[in-house]
Amino acid sequence: MASLYHHSSFPLSPPHQLTAPESPRAPAPSYRISTLPSSSHHGSSCLPRPCASPSFACHCKAPPRDHDTELLRALQSSGNGTLHGESAPPQVLDSRSDGPGSDERGKRSRLCARDCAKRIMELPVEERVKVLDLLQRDDAALTVSDYNDILSALARAGDHASAVALFRAMPVAPDAHSFATAVQCLCRQGAPDEAKLALDEMVARGFRPSVATFSAVVGCLCKRGRVTKAMEVFDAMRALGCEPTIRTYNSLVGGLCYVGRLEEALDLLNKLKDSPKTPDIYTFTIVLDGFCKVGRAEEATAIFHDAIGMGLSPTIFTYNALLNGHCKEGNPLRAFALLMGMCGDEDGCPPDKISFGIVLTALLRAGETAAAWQTYKRMERAGFEADGRALDTLARGLCRRCATDVSALGDAREVFAKLVASGHEPVSYTYCLMAQALARGGEVDAAVALLEEMVRRGYALRKRAYTDVVRALCDRARARDALRVLVLVMIVRDFVPGRNAFDALLGELGRQGRWTDAMAVYAAAVKRGVVVSWKHLAREEEPVRLGVPQ
């Protein structure tokens, strides 16, 4: 069978270096990673060949002609060597051919010394001195090993775009280390297609990629949902005798879950359990998380217990994925039980802020105020603080609970005070519920003060809130304060109180015998279109006893 690796139209180094004599290498493998176009390097698609291509060291010594422009282009690159909005070039890395005018194009495509030095200067002192010393050597003194040192330094400094650009500009033939560094940098840039083509070219030239290089390409493809392509690289990896590591399998499992192929991911996990490649806790976590995201928490729980049965210790990511699965499926109390188990297990994995946040939000959404309160107190003891939105929702839940359980008023006041102290402004509805809870709990003065605070801040008043406050004041024979609340509502906020508020005040004024005040309140209600009951204005007179004639 003829070699499946043809000469690629995506050369990774200058064409005149491709024909340079090289040391004997292993013949190209017969397994194909991908089919590349069969155009040769000397075809018409290549640019003209330069007469004398200056080396990278020579170019570094020359002052940069347009350093700012090149630097801006590097910063604006879209990850595949092009600017945002431009079409990608047809090759992985630029190739240069001899011909008139190509020398200037080659200079523009090379990396200036200052571009490299920017990142290299961030490296440790010893490595920085070593790399910068290479840039001072003569042109002919730089070898492929020297270029590899510079490539590695740029990659470690995080300047992957500059490393790729330097690889394109190398005037010497790259070796396996050069290719491996370029592939890793392309993967870090999020360019899976270019990384795969670079890997193909590497194998086509007789180099054997390492397991880490193959795994990087597989992981990059899987993160973009290119699972089919990742499988091709995975199969090619095994065909070349590179045994995948558990990290490679984890990338594949994650890719399958990412595209919704959960059954295949579970099958691969089960195969790994019966193979020498024992899955780790991350393998289980990836599959478990995939099932939780689609609302299959029961199967995720089985995977969770399976991992524990194999002697693996779940991480916080494992627990958070399962907690989220239970909440997403509508079972916040199961998530609450799991969270309490995490808190009680001193030798296990303690919950973090995300764990508490997942469960607290779900419990509040489901109206499970008692469990939410326990979660909040546990969270507080663990040293974490709930966000303002969660505190606001918890305060409202505790205020509603005060209607049936007055003992919850203290908890509601605590959360409300914490909410105000945190700098998060409670919404109008929370203020009103708090005022109602205070009025029902007998703290009428605090309720009145809260209503006045709402008026001062310009919040809208709910009828039920100030009606409950007026009733509480009337029950304590504080008609004057109740009247002040109504005036506050009618005059200051220009609201029309409801019938129940007027009835409560008229009833108390009638009990106190203040008929003149009662008639004034009645007139105010009628004037505003509120129909009140007449029974509060009817005077109670003693019945006349008729004498019985003797």
Q: How many CA atoms lie within 13 A of 522 on its CB side?
A: 18
User: Does this chain's domain 120-244 share its CATH topology with 425-534?
Assistant: yes
Q: What is the DSSP letter of 407?
A: G
Top CATH class, 425-534 = mainly alpha
Inter-residue contact 292 to 322 (CB < 8 Å): yes
Q: Where are the alpha helices (DSSP H) in 345-440?
A: 353-366, 369-381, 388-401, 409-421, 428-440
Q: Give one DSSP letter per residue of 251-282, joined into a string.
A: HHHHHHHHTT-HHHHHHHHHHHHTSSS---HH
Cβ atoms within 10 Å, residue 538: 9
The pLDDT value recorded for residue 115 is: 55
Top CATH class, 120-244 = mainly alpha
The pLDDT value recorded for residue 508 is: 87
Inter-residue contact 155 to 184 (CB < 8 Å): yes
Per-residue pLDDT of the chain (550 residues; tens, 9 = 90+): 333 333 333 334 333 333 333 444 444 344 333 333 333 333 333 333 333 344 443 333 333 334 334 333 433 433 333 333 444 443 444 433 344 444 544 443 344 444 555 566 666 666 655 665 665 555 566 788 888 888 888 888 888 888 888 888 888 889 999 999 999 999 999 999 999 999 999 999 999 999 999 999 999 999 999 999 999 999 999 999 889 999 999 999 999 999 999 999 999 999 998 888 889 999 999 999 999 999 999 999 999 999 999 999 999 999 999 999 999 999 999 999 999 999 988 888 999 999 999 999 999 999 999 999 999 999 999 999 998 999 999 999 999 988 888 888 999 999 999 998 888 888 889 999 999 999 988 899 999 999 888 888 888 888 888 889 999 999 999 988 988 888 888 776 677 788 888 888 888 888 888 888 888 888 888 888 888 776 655 554 444 343 444 3
- With 0-12 CB in 10 A as exposed, 13-18 as middle and 19+ as buried, what is 423? exposed
Residues across the chain: 550
The pLDDT value recorded for residue 263 is: 95
Domain ranges of the chain: 120-244, 254-314, 425-534
